[in-house]
């Protein structure tokens, strides 16, 4: 009896495996026969995959227990799509956006501020260790890592960073509070792997009360071209709360944003995910008191989104509707009953 059951299970597995092989066969034929820039070539695999999954859903004696869509089972926001398109909708999305191979692992390093250590040389040496030991392509400092009060110390810091670049060739983004002039600035400076200064940024959106003594920047997103990551942009912590600055990443085709942060707990991480989804870039965040890392693992390739083209157009349309609705209500209030009845018929 056990052998019979084993044979049945093996046979069912073979049939299911063959059924799921069919979309790949169709896809290979489509890649060869159809135009490389046509929509049909892109749509063949998700359509055939979803179709075969639907056939299995109704013809398979195991029902939906082997359905690929359940890989999203714990992602309630995505699974809500089943209320619109069922499991077929989830399968279509998985097949359309899936990748064959994971992206290459790229090492990045983060230098965090220590509350009891203000000496900049400590952070420079830590940067040197990260560049030497782990082969990090990018090393980023968290916000306001050290106070620089003299032009001599500032020159020493710049020279130290360039010495590291000469030896190890990483992209290094470092931060400091600039007290070298009468005005104070919250600074973020980036050197590329060839030793050139490519970002010299003053924080634009200053935290009310806490950063009243600083002079804000010009609200222009600075970017540069890198060999590995394409276009890279940089901003500081609270800047990411303002679309007027971060939204520039779309028009400048930014693949990766460098975010030097100093926010407590997990408060900025959900927002970072929204920024990524809206604008189609990745974010490498280095944060002293919060969570550091890459919120969504997409480093090399920018994704063009609808938001990146239209921005907050819907929101501004609604702003305009405030005036239209206000005028309508005022007219209804001061007009006679006949006018109110006519407007009610329109609405």
SS3 34: coil
Residue with tokens 């639907």: 54
Question: What is the average per-residue pLDDT within 29-58?
Answer: 79
CA distance 88 to 206: 47
Higher-confidence position of 203 and 318: 203
Which residues lie closer than 8 Å to 128 by C-beta, 6 or more apart?
164, 168
Q: In the chain, what are the domain boundaries?
A: 2-97, 108-310, 316-346
**Predicted local confidence at residue 291, as pLDDT:** 79
Mean pLDDT of the chain: 83
Question: What is the average per-residue pLDDT within 68-93?
Answer: 80
Digit-coded pLDDT (tens) for 216-261: 999 999 999 998 888 999 999 989 888 889 889 888 989 899 999 9
**Predicted local confidence at residue 99, as pLDDT:** 60
Task: Work out the pLDDT band at 174, boundaries 50, 70, 90.
Answer: very high
**Predicted local confidence at residue 57, as pLDDT:** 81
Higher-confidence position of 271 and 161: 161
- Left if phi > 0, otherwise alpha if psi is -120 to 50, otherwise beta: which for 311? left
pTM above 0.75? no
**Predicted local confidence at residue 278, as pLDDT:** 80
**Predicted local confidence at residue 159, as pLDDT:** 94
Residue 203: both structure tokens together: 């924080």
Homologous superfamily (CATH) for 108-310:
Carbon-nitrogen hydrolase (3.60.110.10)
**Predicted local confidence at residue 188, as pLDDT:** 96
Which residues lie closer than 8 Å to 183 by C-beta, 6 or more apart?
215
Digit-coded pLDDT (tens) for 200-215: 999 999 999 989 999 9
Upper half-sphere CA count for residue 23 (Cβ side, 13 Å): 21
**Predicted local confidence at residue 143, as pLDDT:** 93
Task: Work out the pLDDT band at 94, boundaries 50, 70, 90.
Answer: confident
Higher-confidence position of 101 and 106: 106
CA distance 167 to 128: 9
Higher-confidence position of 115 and 147: 147
CA distance 268 to 192: 27
- The answer on pLDDT for 43 being more than 60 is yes
CA distance 330 to 321: 14
**Predicted local confidence at residue 202, as pLDDT:** 96
Task: Work out the pLDDT band at 295, boundaries 50, 70, 90.
Answer: low
Task: Work out the pLDDT band at 56, boundaries 50, 70, 90.
Answer: confident
Q: Are 65 and 53 in contact (CB under 8 A)?
A: no
Digit-coded pLDDT (tens) for 149-167: 999 999 999 999 999 998 8
**Predicted local confidence at residue 155, as pLDDT:** 94
CA distance 318 to 157: 49
Task: Work out the pLDDT band at 178, boundaries 50, 70, 90.
Answer: very high
- The answer on pLDDT for 102 being more than 70 is no
């Amino acid at each position: 009896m056990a052998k019979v059951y084993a044979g049945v299970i093996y046979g069912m597995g073979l049939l299911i495996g063959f059924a799921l092989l069919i979309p790949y066969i169709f896809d290979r034929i489509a890649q060869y026969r159809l135009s490389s820039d046509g929509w049909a070539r892109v749509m063949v695999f998700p359509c055939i995959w979803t179709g075969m999954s639907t056939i299995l859903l109704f013809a398979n004696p195991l029902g939906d227990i082997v359905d690929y869509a359940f890989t999203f089972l714990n992602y309630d926001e995505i699974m809500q799509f089943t209320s619109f398109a069922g499991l077929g909708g989830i399968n279509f999305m998985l097949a359309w956006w899936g990748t064959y191979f994971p992206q290459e692992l790229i090492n990045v390093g983060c230098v965090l501020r220590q509350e009891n250590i203000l000496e900049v040389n400590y952070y420079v040496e830590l940067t040197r260790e990260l560049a030497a030991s782990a082969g990090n392509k990018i090393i980023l400092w968290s916000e306001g890592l050290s106070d620089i009060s003299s032009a001599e110390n500032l020159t020493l810091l710049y020279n130290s960073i360039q010495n590291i670049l000469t030896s190890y060739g990483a992209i290094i983004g470092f931060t400091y509070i600039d007290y070298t002039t009468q005005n104070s600035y919250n600074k973020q400076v980036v050197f590329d792997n060839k030793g050139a200064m490519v970002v010299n940024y003053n924080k634009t959106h200053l935290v009310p009360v806490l950063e009243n003594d600083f002079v804000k920047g010009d609200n222009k997103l600075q970017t540069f071209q890198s060999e590995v990551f394409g276009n890279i942009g940089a901003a500081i912590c609270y800047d990411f709360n303002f679309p007027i600055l971060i939204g520039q990443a779309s028009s400048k085709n930014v693949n990766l944003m460098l975010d030097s942060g100093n926010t407590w707990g997990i408060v900025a991480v959900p927002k970072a995910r929204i920024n990524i989804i809206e604008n189609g870039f990745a974010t490498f965040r280095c944060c002293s008191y919060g969570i550091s890392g890459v919120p969504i693992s997409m480093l090399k390739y920018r994704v063009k989104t609808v938001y990146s083209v239209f921005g907050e157009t819907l929101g501004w349309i609604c702003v305009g509707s405030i005036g239209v609705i206000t005028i309508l209500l005022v007219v209804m209030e001061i007009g006679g009953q006949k006018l109110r009845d006519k407007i009610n018929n329109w609405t």
